[in-house]
């Protein structure tokens, strides 16, 4: 396991935990963005759980590498979906946020190999 993977995985996990906490707390700006994207507010819990599970998988991957690879792959798919959702809603100014998370997930996946 490389030092790069450890650093990238920890940063990615921390960012996703922060995002999951914001989802669980139903931050006003997140609720507003969901409405703009045409998604129901009831999705906040499951989306937060997915982010938290991905973050925990990355941390577990420091001990069991296969878990880290699986978590990074799942987060990559999750945030690819988030980018597609924002594009579909035509809120191009919001693309920076899911794109940044997507870049972290991809970096975690690439450095895990």
For the chain, give every domain's residue range: 3-112
Condensed to tens digits (0 to 9), the pLDDT of residues 95-111 reads 999 999 999 999 999 99
The pTM assigned to this predicted structure is: 0.92
Report the alpha-carbon distance of residue 110 to residue 17 in Å, rounded. Answer: 20
Alpha helices in 25-95 (DSSP H): 28-37, 44-60, 65-88
Condensed to tens digits (0 to 9), the pLDDT of residues 44-69 reads 999 999 999 999 999 999 999 999 99
Quick one: angle between helices 96-112 and 3-24, nearest 10? Answer: 140
């Amino acid at each position: 396991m490389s030092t790069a993977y450890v650093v990238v995985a920890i940063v990615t996990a921390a960012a996703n935990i922060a995002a999951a906490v914001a989802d669980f707390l139903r931050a006003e700006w997140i609720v507003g963005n969901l409405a703009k994207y045409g998604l129901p507010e009831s999705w906040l819990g499951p989306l937060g759980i997915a982010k938290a599970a991905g973050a925990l998988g990355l941390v577990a991957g420091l001990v069991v590498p296969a878990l880290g690879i699986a978590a990074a792959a799942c987060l990559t798919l999750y945030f690819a979906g988030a980018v597609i959702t924002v594009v579909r809603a035509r809120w191009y100014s919001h693309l920076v946020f899911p794109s940044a998370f997507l870049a972290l997930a991809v970096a975690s996946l690439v450095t895990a190999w």
